[in-house]
Chains A and B, each alone.
Chain A
């Protein structure tokens, strides 16, 4: 409970004594590149294979001759939009970006760079953490859209080159009983996950004490707690918005 209280106070400090808009604009842009653009390759590779494997495994399980092949496309589409793109990408994102945020802030803490900011009269939480959270909130939904598109494309490639179903059937399945709310749901999840990963990782890194060993521990803890928070909030959001 004490940690939770500290976390809430930490979030409250984001908005105290802020710097100028110009300062934040530059920092947010830098973070967008670090957090978003630099994650594109990893997210792309994972997404293509995720979609391809989902198609093959769905085809492997749907062997009943009464179920048309195009259902595979439908299953891959819904699986991707509702779960794989936002949640699995979120867990990968926590591993890559969350550990980087915690490591970066942890190193700044133990090398007194954060103290240097405080001595200058700069609110270090606001200056260092707010741009990371804002950039993550901007970029992660784009990564989820990219992940979803590439996963579905990966499914198509598996259908075409794996020979498990005709590409035309896959396309019919993709369009079958499409509910646009699934996309909104995925985007809502992406915003929530982005906030959780960035804020939890920043909190873990910011309060690192000790040396290099503790920076590593903070990074590990940031990934672990972020993943648990993603899974927990995934369940809560599904319960609230889908059931």
Chain B
């Protein structure tokens, strides 16, 4: 479980996230949603430690990440897997080397065990027989799946995804969403996904935290979201014609 308490972050004189609280439970896909520039990616980067918040706490199963010493931070970080918006695969390494990378650097596992683990994970994300392909030789959706494989190969307890569906067609997006939900449930991972994709919200949003103008305006599930009563959230959710039609149907 990840608990965020009173998280605040500013850049120069602009407050990007202000006093945000939230509890992201183990085995659930939690979504941070909001319009572009609302501060959701900054919030994610504060949670994983890529930014240091001005104030507040981030607790990983009770361990405060922000004020922790270097060893504790390293321990927590080694339990984290992250899928970046563009995949962030290492260009100079092939699929197998990319997925094996956390095992190479973070473990003393024998080489054959590492390869077994890599093949198992690649099979899990439905990427068999792509081991020797370079990132530039595979599609965007496949790159995302390699990114997911790399994020979970080391038995990560926490999985973070920054806009996992950006640049993907709707069908591939749904497949990625389903894969993330399956993995979360199967390995009992605490998963946090930053997105503004309403398909993802409706498909896998077991816990949703809505940010607007740097502040948390709403939290709940995908069942509750269309009846939130929050104007900013309604503007966000019912931005397109189809969603408005669904709302009018009740």
Contacts and interface: CB of A to CB of B under 8 A. Distances in A.
Nearest to B85: A112
B80 A120 contact: yes
Contacts of A111: 86, 88, 91
Contacts of B50: 115, 118-119
A29 to B, nearest CB: 14
Interface residues of B, number: 25
B74 interface: yes
B105 A19 contact: yes
A17 B74 contact: yes
Contacts of B90: 113, 116
A111 B91 CA distance: 10
B105 A23 contact: yes
A23 B73 contact: no
Contacts of B80: 119-121
Contacts, number: 53
Contacts of B70: 17
B86 A112 contact: yes
B102 interface: yes
B82 interface: yes
B244 to A, nearest CB: 35
B49 interface: yes
Contacts of B77: 118-121
Interface residues of A, number: 15
Interface in A95-144: 107, 111-113, 115-116, 118-122, 127
B220 to A, nearest CB: 28
A107 B80 CA distance: 24
B225 interface: no
B123 to A, nearest CB: 22
B106 A115 contact: no
A68 to B, nearest CB: 55
**8 residue pairs, one from A and one from B, having the closest CB atoms:** A121-B77, A112-B88, A116-B88, A112-B84, A119-B82, A121-B74, A121-B78, A113-B88
Interface of B: 48-50, 70, 73-78, 80-82, 84-86, 88-91, 102, 104-106, 160
Given A19-B105, A118-B49, 8 more contacts: A23-B105, A111-B86, A112-B85, A116-B84, A119-B82, A120-B106, A121-B77, A121-B106
Interface of A: 17, 19, 23, 107, 111-113, 115-116, 118-122, 127
26 contacts: A19-B105, A23-B105, A111-B86, A111-B88, A112-B86, A112-B88, A113-B88, A113-B89, A113-B90, A115-B84, A115-B88, A116-B82, A116-B84, A116-B88, A118-B49, A118-B50, A118-B77, A119-B48, A119-B49, A119-B81, A119-B82, A120-B78, A120-B80, A120-B105, A121-B76, A121-B77
